[in-house]
Structure 1
């Protein structure tokens, strides 16, 4: 699925996450509150209410809850349409009660905001707009049309018209503001949740690939002895069967197939081995492994390495972590996507830190997005010119978020900048003028202790199930 479809699909999937039992429970709370308010208004304040119609409105909610409890299973989750109808029913029922009890003269009229807020949290934009417009129309109608609140003596309880219109204005503004605020916050949280899930999936996939390589390497090691025995025995049989050409041919075939099995296991084992060689590697080799998938995409990737001030001449051996490789790979991919012709990867190490800078000769980061780089799903719709310039790119900021999250988990600090002003013209292709991403680790976070001490590799570690 393309990234552009993730947000829409997730939105509709989340509307199916709400259980019917949750909505029923919330409605029971509303029913209890409504019955309490009606009873207190009648018994304590002696207000003359249309009790028959009020209890009818509450009774409809009770019947709806009972029907839902006895007909639908406890684990039923509501679809987008069912959720919308449930919230719309609650809105209409509440507004009918407010119509019977003074309209906007009733202080409980603020509860109209609740159904719209729920809609903004879990439903689609279309459903939220429909509910918001319905609530606005009903609240506007109650300014002029409602049954007044009367005391036992027949006096009408009402607030001045100025306050009524102020109440209407406040509710209208709140409908818009709270809906936008709730929806914005919810979408931010959902986007972060989706991106974190994608990060975990990417890391788990890299780890599984690494583990699979280790299993294959272990299998190749364990099968090496029996395959060598088979090859030796078949060779001796072939030598002893010079007078039996038909049987000699079978013995040679066995030896050939044993060699073939050895070659297959050896090639499969190249993906990874569960030995100390694969737990850490030279810094440049790890970077080269991260950049390897993007070497043949039509852009030059230039690796430059060297010690910084006070750094030792030999490059350090760093931990070969899946999150480091995958995070660097995403950064290289982003640079290759935007580069005109060349990407430079500069590596510097000192006694305290290890730094990697990835620079391209593209247009650089947009200035207004520099402070937001690393947030998931931050990209706007692509222009036609951008599609023509980079037809293969469909990013929404998720790749950079994954890279930033993975590398920060390994102890790195990331910074994003431009090598030059992206609006300055006249820079030829092949010049370091585009985006700059710098990744800096404290040496203690990334350098393997065994490699740093210069100790031996020791025995291979057994693979645990």
Structure 2
């Protein structure tokens, strides 16, 4: 999974999530609301507001928007610092208006939640903490320092102190709650999006490898006849050129090079042929192919295959699908990585079901994450023991997420469990004491459809 970790790091290189146009549109909406509120409060309800200073504060937002529209293209995406400064400006402008219009006696003071919520959704944690702390400081200051709201006759609008304190407390709690809530939801959405993209890249890579193996194998098959002809003719020339050693040596060279071409093509085409052989294989062959990259990693991998009670003794031919192979390969990799010395891969079948079970003799899944296995980026940091067990591995939960996603799309139901109680003493544990992963398919989802006339003839390469 190291290449997928590298791909993920490339995806996460920059946080440019926010378009400038989005914040400009939101600011125009805020400006329209502020102007409407000032007009209604002063004209309809007769409040004596400092219209000059309030107009100056609103005008600052108008000028800032006009400058942004003029200086930058609409499709500009803001960097972390640029988005933070934009939201900081909006928070400061709102703080000035709150100070001018009664502090927390102004019900629109609750709008300080908006910049913090936006920051929690799109910016890094440190930026959100800074804006949230500043917003709490602003509403706290507004509790004590503000210009009071007065009617046209000079009478001050009085609000009970208990109500003002309750309003302050609700805003502070709102900043904390909405900030945390928005942050959590946005983080999970981004993680899922990035993990799905990593899954698509993994599947595309597996598909390319499968296609390449098929093309190479088909080329080896098609070139077999001309190479055999060249070898036969060169052998006859060697016999006929018995008295001409120089020409005979050239004929031997032709034969040797033909043998070399045959060997190269045979080695490159081990995966099969680009015909119906490539599309289906016995269950045992597919499982061994999925596990093959991890068989020489110092752990013993045991295979066992057999029918269930109502199953046929003959192994089913299943579809040799890249998504299934890649998903199973990730599960085997996880088992080999965490096993002490041994991994068991079992395949069972019946008329209606196909079951694949992978067990190891390791410590099993940690109790703290077993309920979240299959989610992306479950593990944000690696411990020293993890590094010793899996050197060079950038584990973030992506491997199991990719496996789970690919196999579930193929129709499998996956379950994750531990083979035994992880708190048992080592001497009391059975041999199969580690993690158990089981994938169950309906037979119709995985078994290759019957083909009239068998596998058929190999098809020549077009072009």
Q: TM above 0.5, one fold?
A: yes
Distance 1:463 1:205 in 2: 22
- Match in the other structure for 2:98: 98
Is the Cα contact below 8 Å between 2:148 and 2:156 reproduced in 1?
A: yes
Flag the 1:389–1:219 CA change in 2: closer, same or farther, 3 A: closer
Query: What's the CA shift for 1:330?
Result: 1.0
Task: Pick closer, same or farther for the CA change 1:350–1:427 going to 2, 3 Å.
Answer: farther
Q: Deviations over 1:174-213 (max 9, x none)?
A: 1111101110111111111111111111111100100111
Q: Distance in 2 between matches of 1:29 and 1:143?
A: 26
Change (3 A) 1:17 1:429: same
Structure 2 CA distance for partners of 1:125 and 1:155, relative to 1, 3 Å: same
Map 1:55-134 → 2, pairs under 5 A: 55-134=55-134
1:458 maps to 456
Counterpart secondary structure, 1:368: coil
Q: Deviations over 1:108-144 (max 9, x none)?
A: 1111000000000111111111101111111100001
**Using the alignment, how far apart are the partners of 1:415 and 1:202 within structure 2?**
22
The structural deviation recorded for 1:250 is 3.3
Partners of 1:194 and 1:409 lie apart in 2 by 18
Q: How does 1:52-451 map to 2 (within 5 A)?
A: 52-231=52-231, 234-235=234-235, 241-242=241-242, 244-379=244-379, 381-391=381-391, 393-427=393-427, 431-450=431-450
By how many angstroms is 1:37 displaced?
1.4
CA contact (8 A) 2:234 2:251 kept: yes
DSSP 3-state at the match of 2:77: coil
Q: String of CA shifts for 1:213-235, please: whole Å, max 9, x gaps.
A: 12222333444444445545555
* TM norm structure 1: 0.92
- 1:271/1:374 CA distance change after superposition, 3 Å: same
| RMSD (Å) for aligned C-alpha atoms | 2.5
- Cα distance in structure 2, aligned partners of 1:2 and 1:52: 60
User: How far has the Cα of 1:308 moved from its partner?
Assistant: 1.0
Q: Distance in 2 between matches of 1:4 and 1:310?
A: 43
Separation (CA, whole Å) in 2 of partners of 1:316 and 1:128: 56
Change (3 A) 1:9 1:448: closer
Q: 1:389 to 1:238 in 2, by over 3 A?
A: closer
Preserved CA contact (<8 Å) 2:280 2:320: yes
SS in 1 for 2:47: coil
State the partner residue of 1:39.
Answer: 39
Q: Offset at 1:443?
A: 0.9
Task: Note closer, same or farther for the CA distance 1:310–1:290 as it changes in structure 2 (3 Å cut).
Answer: same
Which digits, 9 at most, give the CA deviation of each residue in 1:45-98, with x for residues without a partner? Answer: 222211111111111111111111121223321111111101111111111111
CA contact (8 A) 2:221 2:273 kept: no
Q: 1:12 touches 1:124 (CA, 8 Å); kept in 2? A: no
Q: Aligned partners of 2:122, 2:271: CA distance in 1, in Å?
A: 44
Question: Could you say if the C-alpha distance between residues 430 and 20 of structure 1 is closer, same or farther in structure 2, counting changes exceeding 3 Å?
Answer: same
Work out the CA distance in 1 between the residues paired with 2:303 and 2:293.
15
In 1, Cα distance between equivalents of 2:199 and 2:17: 22
Tell me the distance in 1 between the aligned counterparts of 2:11 and 2:402. Answer: 18
Return 5+ residue gaps in structure 2 as ranges: none
1:19 paired residue number: 19
**Residues in 1 aligned to 2:379 and 2:308: alpha-carbon distance in whole angstroms:** 36
Q: Work out whether residues 11 and 124 of structure 1, in 8 Å CA contact, stay in contact via their aligned partners in 2.
A: no
* Contact kept? 2:420, 2:430, Cα under 8 Å: no
SS in structure 2 at match of 1:91? helix
1:391: how far off?
4.3
The answer as to whether partners of 1:48 and 1:149 remain within 8 angstroms in 2 is yes
* Matched-pair contact (CA < 8 Å) for 2:4–2:202: no
For 1:320-359, what per-residue CA distance to the aligned partner results, in whole angstroms no more than 9, with x for missing partners? 1111111111111111111111111122111111111111
Select between 423-432 and 324-333 the one with higher mean Cα deviation: 423-432
Worse-matched range after superposition: 373-382 or 237-246 = 237-246
Aligned: 1:51 with 2:51:
yes
